[in-house]
Amino acid sequence: MRVGVFDSGIGGLTVVKAITEVLKGAEIFYIADTQFAPYGEKSKEQILRHSFDIANYLIKTHNIDALVVACNTATSAAIKELREHFPELIVVGTEPGIKPAMLLSKNKKIGILATPATLKGEKYQLLVDTLSTSSSHITLYEQACPGLVQQIENGKIEDEKTYLLLENWLKPMKENGVDTLVLGCTHYPLVEDTIKKIMGQNINLIETGYAIANRLKDLSKNCGHFNNGELKVNVYFTSYINLEMISKILNSYNNGGEIVVRNINE
Of 56, 57, 66, 75, nearest to 7 (Cα)? 75
β-pairing, 90-92 with 66-69? Answer: parallel
CA distance 247 to 224: 32
Q: 186 in helix, strand or coil? A: coil
Catalytic pick among 55, 71, 144, 231: 71
CA distance 250 to 69: 18
CA distance 178 to 8: 29
Close Cβ partners of 110 (under 8 Å, ≥ 6 residues apart): 98, 101, 102, 138, 139, 140, 141, 178, 180, 181, 182
CA distance 155 to 153: 5
CA distance 104 to 205: 10
- DSSP per residue over 90-123, as a string? EEE-----HHHHHHH-SS-EEEEEE-HHHHHSHH
| 223 catalytically annotated | no
CA distance 199 to 206: 14
Catalytic pick among 64, 112, 178, 185: 185
CA distance 126 to 26: 33
Rg (alpha carbons) of the chain, rounded to whole number: 18
Q: Which residues are catalytic?
A: 71, 185
